[in-house]
Amino acid sequence: MNLKYYLDKEAFDKTPDGAVIATGETIDNPDGLHLANTDKPLRWVAKKGSADDWCVYAHLIEHSAEWILAHGDKVCTKRNIDNILKITDEIWSKYRF
């Protein structure tokens, strides 16, 4: 359930502004996104912004990616994002915390 998506400069640059970069599923615990430590399954969505930036949103798995982008929780801890994405330092510098 915790497959890591690799995001490098080439993939980031090819993604249009406002587009979803990746989406996936994980668990709400220290090995996943660890938002509230509920052990419930979560869906996460990584989205590219319009200012050469990006961020990750997450919520319970029963919600769609579209719902999560509009209403989900923004993931603000690098350690949690490292559990779901493999990211180069250059792309990390573009994360919108």
Give the tens place of pLDDT for each residue, 12-48.
Answer: 999 999 999 999 999 999 999 999 999 999 999 999 9
The closest of 73, 71, 70, 52 to 9, measured between CA atoms, is 52
97 part of a folded domain = no
Looking at the 3D structure of the chain, how many domains does it have?
1
* 33 Cβ neighbours under 8 A, 6+ residues apart: 26, 27, 42, 44, 58, 75, 80, 81, 83, 84
pTM: 0.92
11 part of a folded domain = yes
Range of the domain at 37: 5-92
5: β partners: 85
Average pLDDT, the chain: 93
26 part of a folded domain = yes
57 part of a folded domain = yes
Predicted pLDDT of residue 5: 81
pLDDT at 72 over 90: yes
**pLDDT band at 4, cuts 50/70/90?**
confident
Predicted pLDDT of residue 27: 94
**pLDDT band at 94, cuts 50/70/90?**
very high
